[in-house]
Chains A and B, each alone.
Chain A
Amino acid sequence: MTHTPVERPQDPTLTARMSEAAAGAWDALRRNPTMLFGLSVLVVMAVLAFGAPLFGLPEPMRQNPINRLQDPSAAHWFGTDMYGRDLLSRVLHGGQISLVVGLSVAALATSLGLAIGLVAGFSRRVDAVVMRFMDALMSIPSILLAIALVSLWGSSVTNVIIALTIPEVPRVVRLVRSVVLMLRDQTFVQAAIACGTSTPRILVRHIMPNTFPPLIVQATYICAQAVIFEAYLSFVGAGTPPEIPSWGNIMAEGRMFFFQNFGIIMYPGIFLAITVFAINTFGDGLRDSLDPRMKRRF
């Protein structure tokens, strides 16, 4: 073999790689206005929810019975509820719960589903057992399963997150498994086997990264679904503890005062709809920009 002095090619450092990735992400956003729109709305939502304590609004829990059920005014933009609590403050704070639950459920469900799906897709023996269990889990309506679990464990944000995660896992497992089955016969996986790479390493290095694009898209839909389900669970009283202002809880309380102050139901409802819409828009955009067929288009 010829030996010329090696001018060592620079190994891109981590920061360089990250800035490369960031540039790629920005490029994708710029080309995909739908995704950019969804993301912007989400960012605004997050700032409103998590920045709420800084806006100098009245405490969301502070009761002020004299001012109960007021119409919107300069002091209370959205008016007040039956205990005279500032509705704007409550709705904004409620966003925290929704976003935390949505993101946590999405993160948990995808990582659990990814792990199970990878193993199921590669091992026939595990596959048979796991998939039957997943099928069984999927045959129970997810909202009923969640209500049952929260009733069993008692209502807390953590329990809501777990209860919403469990019914989502089988769907992720199915998705991951199908991608793995497709990838398993690809030539580059055969090439890895032929050059002596061990099975766990093949899973981690070759298979897993290729499951990410569909998984990330799926995660956005799970997130949107979880936001809705959290509100639903709270509304029927099987979700977040009633003292915490979550959109579901606010709406549940507002039921009784529907005719006195419609806003108690309307404002959280609007915020919920906008959030879900934004997440779904973001997800749709992401799906398009991650689709290799779209990339190859002129």
Chain B
Amino acid sequence: MSAPILEVENLTKHFPLHGGLLQREVGRVHAVDGVSFTLARGETLGLVGESGCGKSTTGKAILKLTDPTSGTIRLKGVDITHLSRAQMFPHRRVMQVIFQDPYASLNQRMRVKDIVAEPLGNYEPDSSRAERLEKIAALFDRVGLRRDALNRFPHEFSGGQRQRLGIARALAVNPEVIIADEPVSALDVSVQAQVVNLMMDLQAEFELSYLFIAHDLAVVQHISHRIGVMYLGRLVELAPKRELFRNPQHPYTEALLDSVPVPDPRRRRKRAVLRGDVPSPINPPKGCHFNTRCPLAFDRCFHEAPPLREVAPGHMAACHLR
């Protein structure tokens, strides 16, 4: 297997909380707490978890849209963790992003051709207008948008079309890695399928690697090769998707899988597998972060955090019981 295109090691992001008269630090939000994984060329790694588990912050930190507190991010072998905005410039071309809200991620005051051309203008400033326009038109064809829409504004497009615009913009500079932060969760199901299919086709065509961040397990399962499950800032399980769904090793993964409603009225099950709420990431519980809700928790879970260990070939889990 070739070297991974993206390596994340022990990534941590804490947001300090300030309070009181002197705005002193009064606490820290442990958004991401020591996450490690690798992404191979042409692979889709799904990152799932509930709100506040740190999956989006992980994506933002990798994109350097927020500065990591500690840890290492290597893109094609180069450590980009501490690069300045200017130093990041050549690396951004390799790694692009698709955001969740296709409306908010497009500047409403710009024509869509200018939006899609923005990265081209940054990375190929010498190309002529005509060349760029030709390239954008070809991109429009590729993502399934009509060429006669080039001069329109974002608000004239439907949600799915806007997400196609976001994808076209990400593809404009031929990236190798795409961080997709909940790319389909704002879309209707029928349109969601269109976008998921498009992303899979593009991956096959351009050998793209995706970090696919989402909360919808069914979608993640469909598009990913491997899946990482996050809970309160930590990666609790990481496995090839088949392994993960057939043989979940972490009690949280198991609960998560059991909670998803199945579109089959003959398979109604007893619900409410997990009690209580996710604790606050400001003061996460000591030991295993899942200990407040875990049905299997015992003494050790309350003072010792289980490391992410290989429990079967290629299957990692962070649980004292495995």
Contacts and interface: CB of A to CB of B under 8 A. Distances in A.
A175 to B, nearest CB: 18
Interface in A180-209: 186-188, 190-199, 205-206, 209
Given A11-B151, A190-B97, A195-B97, 12 more contacts: A9-B147, A9-B151, A188-B104, A190-B99, A191-B99, A191-B106, A192-B118, A194-B92, A195-B118, A195-B170, A196-B89, A196-B93
A198 B89 CA distance: 9
Chain A interface, DSSP helix/strand/loop, else mixed = loop
Interface stretch (B137-145, B223-231, B288-296, B310-318): B137-145
A212 to B, nearest CB: 9
A197 B137 CA distance: 21
- Looking at A7, A192, A199, which has the most chain B CB atoms within 10 Å of its CB? A192
Given A2-B142, A187-B105, A188-B105, A197 B122 contact: yes
A210 interface: yes
B158 to A, nearest CB: 16
B65 A188 contact: no
Contacts of B267: none
A255 to B, nearest CB: 51
Interface residues of B, number: 40
A191 B150 contact: no
Interface string B113-141: 10000110011000000100110011001
B169 interface: yes
Given A186-B104, A190-B65, A196-B89, A2 B141 contact: yes
B16 to A, nearest CB: 15
13 contacts: A2-B138, A2-B142, A6-B133, A8-B137, A9-B133, A187-B100, A187-B104, A190-B99, A190-B105, A191-B97, A193-B65, A198-B122, A199-B85
A1 B123 contact: no
A9 B107 contact: no
A4 interface: yes
Interface of A: 1-4, 6-12, 186-188, 190-199, 205-206, 209-210
Nearest to A292: B108
Contacts of A1: 138, 141-142
B133 A191 contact: no
Given A9-B147, A9-B150, A190-B99, A196 B123 contact: yes
B65 A194 contact: yes
Interface in B149-172: 150-151, 166, 169-170, 172
Of A3, A9, A186, the most chain B CB neighbours within 10 A belong to A9
A197 B107 CA distance: 13
Contacts of B108: 188
B104 A195 contact: no
B109 A209 contact: yes
Interface in B237-275: none
B142 A191 contact: no
A206 B137 contact: no
A254 to B, nearest CB: 49
B277 interface: no
A187 B105 CA distance: 5
B173 interface: yes
A9 B148 contact: yes
A196 B150 contact: no
Contacts of B118: 192, 195, 197
Nearest to B121: A197
A188 B107 contact: yes
A187 B89 contact: no
Nearest to A188: B107
